[in-house]
């Protein structure tokens, strides 16, 4: 693998998670993320700006009131009307709800008038002291009190000092309005977010729907089904993709149809070839048995008569030798006819033919074969199935005798409803089925072909320690059969 390929294979867990999330969730997540970020940033900025404006307004109000009252209070102090001074301060507080307190004091911290009722909070006097160099006009600062932050404005009533007025503005009212506004903003954001979710749901559905349809179509193609409809609703890139995919599916369907037709023709051809081969074998075996065999048998009868009539011993010995060689020829002829195609397979069926073959095989190769038959096997089945099973067992046992070095083998056949199963097992040296070259070894390949042509299943398992097991399963009535019983 190249470095480039390696780096593309290195996917972080987060990226892996993101890539595994469905498209719909991705679009929805993106839209939600954007809406929420935008809303939170907007609320934060609006609140910050409003807070700044409120603070500026409160500061201005405190400064303004302190300046205005310092003038009005001066006149009242000149005539020493403390009662009127108190009324002035109270009226001002009543008219402006943001004002928390107003009081007038002298340089010895003696409070002359205030708006606190009976108890004056002494610590307020310590909070904001005039200091040298301050301008005579109101000085406004924010101070921390037990009630929270207050804009406190401090002004001289008489130029040069001695008597001062202080005004505290808290702005609870404005802050309440800010909270109400924030609440309204949050509500609006929630509504906008809900509309955004609905829109992004619709959008994600719109985008993901054709993609999901494409995905379903690929699954159908994988299953070998090309008969599906992919409606092209949009004219965008996805619409073009769907159109391209549809064209591709149609070409694939066409190619698949041609392939299936070719395969069908090949199967048909092979079946006819095999049936023809079996017919030919049958014919030759019958010819050998009926013509050549009969001719040799009548030679034997003639020889027997000659033997009886012959006078000289030399003639009798010659005739005996001839009889011996004709007997041996007759046996080989019989064996050849049997190997080609035993007539018992056509006349009596699979099981008698197999029993005869196994008995001859055991005698010829001195290998013990256990035969186990299950189910109603005595009933005749389609000729092509009988031939197929016979040939598979014949090839398996021939292979075993040639390569397995086995001391014994077992063969079983079972008929169950509409199928027939079988297996040939030996205790030989085994082999590696994967390593077999079908261009060189036709036996195993031919077995599989014969079985698959009839719609059956075939398997080989072989182990150097245990031996070889060949199994098959065939339908009793295959779809096509070119042989006749
Ligand atoms: N029962 C078995 N035990 C051990 N080896 C086997 C057995 N059956 C098959 N083989 C191995 O599998 C190979 C392929 O067998 P196959 O029947 O396909 O071809 P073949 O017998 O070599 O030739 P052909 O059957 O075409 O005349 C054999 O050459 C042999 O090595
Ligand atoms: Mg073989």
C-alpha 288/C-alpha 295 separation (Å) is 10
Domain ends where: 179, 200, 220? Answer: 179
Establish if 69 belongs to a structural domain. yes
- Domain with residue 156: its CATH number is 3.30.450.20
pLDDT of residue 15: 81
Q: Which ligand is nearest to the CA of 433?
A: 1
* Position in ligand 1 atom list of the atom nearest CA 468: 1
The protein residue with its alpha carbon nearest to ligand 1, atom 30, reads 403
User: Using 50, 70 and 90 to split pLDDT, how confident is the model at 470?
Assistant: very high
C-alpha distances (whole Å) from 145 to each of 122, 142, 164, 192, 450 are 12, 10, 20, 40, 102
Q: Which CATH number goes with the domain that contains 419?
A: 3.30.565.10
Let me know the angle formed at the C-alpha of 120 by 168 and 141, rounded to the nearest 5 degrees.
25
Instruction: Summarize pLDDT for 29-43 with one digit per residue, the tens.
Output: 888 888 889 888 988
Q: pLDDT per residue over 454-466, tens digit each?
A: 999 999 999 988 9
Q: Domain of residue 84: give its range.
A: 24-179
> Is the entire prediction scored with pTM above 0.85?
no
**What are the C-alpha distances in Å from 398 to residues 38, 161, 391, 392?**
82, 131, 10, 10
Residue 392 in any domain: the answer is yes
What is the rounded distance in angstroms from the CA atom of residue 243 to the CA atom of residue 249?
A: 10
Predicted local confidence at residue 214, as pLDDT:
86
pLDDT tens profile 390-418: 999 999 999 999 999 999 999 999 999 89
Could you write out the DSSP letters of every residue in 18-73?
HHHS-HHHHHHHHHHHHHHHHHHHHHHHHHHHHHHHHHHHHHHHHHHHHHHHHHHH
What total number of domains does the chain contain? 2
**Does residue 270 sit within a domain?**
no
Of the candidates 101, 88, 84, the one whose C-alpha atom is nearest the C-alpha of residue 147 is: 101
Which residue among 135, 163, 179 closes a domain? 179
Task: Name beta bridge partners: 416.
Answer: 419
According to the model, what pLDDT value does residue 372 have?
96
Nearest CA to ligand 1 atom 24: 443
The more confident residue out of 2 and 400 is 400
Question: Residue 129: what pLDDT?
Answer: 61
Instruction: Give the residue from 156, 179, 202 where a domain finishes.
Output: 179
In a domain, 155, yes or no: yes
CA 146 to chain centre: 64
Sign of the alpha-carbon dihedral angle for 181, 183, 184, 188:
positive
Quick check: 370 and 409 in contact, CB under 8 A?
yes
* Averaged pLDDT score across all residues of the chain: 87
Domain presence at residue 376: yes
Buried-exposed string 72-100: b where 16+ CB fall within 10 A, e elsewhere: bbeebbeeeeeebbbebbeebbeeeebbb
pLDDT at 66 over 70: yes
- The minimum-distance atom of ligand 1 relative to the CA of 404 is 3
Residues with CB under 6 A from ligand 1: 399-400, 403-404, 426, 428-431, 436, 441-444, 468
Residue nearest to atom 29 of ligand 1 (CA): 441
What is the pLDDT at residue 1? 45
pLDDT tops 60 at residue 452: yes
Q: For ligand 1, atom 17, which residue shows the shortest CA distance?
A: 443
CA of 398 to the centre of ligand 2 (A): 7
What's CA 275's distance to the chain center, in Å?
A: 47
Q: Which of 397, 428, 441, 448 to mutate to test the pocket of ligand 1 (most atoms within 8 A of CB)?
A: 441
Give a yes or no: residue 467 inside a domain: yes
Pocket test for ligand 1, best of 398, 403, 425 (most atoms within 8 A of CB): 403
Interval between CA 21 and ligand 2 midpoint (Å): 55
What's phi and psi for 244, nearest 5 deg? -60, -40
Of 443, 445, 463, 467, the one to substitute when testing ligand 1's pocket (max ligand atoms within 8 A of C-beta) is 443
Asked if residue 174 belongs to a domain, the reply is yes
Pocket test for ligand 1, best of 399, 411, 467 (most atoms within 8 A of CB): 399
Nearest C-alpha neighbor of 390 from the set 353, 360, 343, 433: 353
Residue 226 in any domain: the answer is: no
């Amino acid at each position: 693998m190249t470095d480039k390929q390696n780096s593309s294979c290195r996917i972080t867990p987060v990226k892996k998670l993101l890539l595994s999330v469905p498209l719909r969730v991705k679009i929805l997540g993106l839209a939600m993320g954007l809406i929420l970020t935008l809303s939170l940033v907007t609320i934060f900025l609006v609140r910050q700006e409003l807070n700044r404006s409120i603070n500026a307004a409160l500061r201005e109000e405190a400064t303004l009131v302190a300046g205005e009252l310092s003038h009005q209070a001066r006149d009242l102090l000149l005539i020493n009307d403390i009662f009127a001074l108190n009324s002035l301060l109270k009226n001002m507080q009543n008219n402006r709800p943001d004002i928390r307190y107003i009081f007038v004091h002298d340089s010895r911290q003696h409070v002359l008038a205030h708006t606190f009722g009976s108890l004056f909070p002494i610590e307020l006097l310590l909070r904001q002291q005039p200091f040298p160099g301050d301008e005579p006009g109101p000085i406004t600062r924010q101070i921390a009190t037990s009630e929270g932050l207050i804009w406190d404005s401090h002004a001289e009533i008489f130029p040069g000092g001695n008597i001062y007025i202080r005004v505290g503005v808290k702005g609870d009212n404005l802050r309440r309005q800010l909270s109400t506004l924030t609440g309204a903003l949050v509500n609006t954001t929630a509504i906008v977010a809900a509309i955004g979710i609905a829109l992004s749901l619709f959008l994600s559905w719109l985008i993901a729907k054709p993609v999901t349809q494409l995905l379903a179509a690929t699954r159908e193609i994988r299953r070998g089904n090309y008969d599906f409809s992919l409606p092209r609703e949009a004219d965008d890139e996805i619409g073009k993709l769907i159109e391209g995919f549809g064209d591709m599916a149609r070409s694939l369907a066409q190619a698949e149809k041609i392939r299936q037709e070719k395969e069908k023709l090949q199967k048909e051809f092979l079946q006819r070839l095999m049936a023809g081969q079996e017919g030919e074998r049958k014919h030759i075996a019958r010819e050998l048995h009926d013509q050549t065999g009969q001719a040799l048998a009548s030679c034997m009868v003639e020889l027997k008569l000659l033997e009886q009539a012959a006078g000289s011993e030399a003639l009798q010995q010659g005739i005996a030798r001839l009889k011996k060689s004709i007997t041996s020829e007759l046996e080989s002829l019989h064996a050849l006819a049997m190997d080609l195609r035993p007539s018992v397979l056509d006349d009596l069926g699979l099981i008698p033919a197999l029993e005869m073959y196994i008995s001859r095989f055991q005698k010829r190769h001195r290998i013990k074969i256990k035969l186990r038959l299950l189910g109603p096997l005595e009933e005749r089945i389609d000729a092509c199935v009988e031939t197929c099973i016979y040939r598979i067992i014949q090839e398996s046992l021939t292979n075993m005798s040639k390569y397995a070095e086995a001391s014994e083998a077992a063969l079983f056949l079972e008929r169950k409803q509409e199928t027939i199963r079988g297996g040939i097992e030996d205790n030989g040296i085994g082999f590696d089925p994967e390593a077999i070259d079908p261009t060189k070894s036709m036996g195993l390949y031919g077995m599989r072909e014969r079985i698959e042509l009839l719609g059956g299943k075939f398997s080989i398992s072989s182990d150097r320690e245990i031996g070889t097991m060949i199994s098959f399963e065939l339908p009793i009535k295959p779809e096509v059969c070119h042989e006749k019983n």
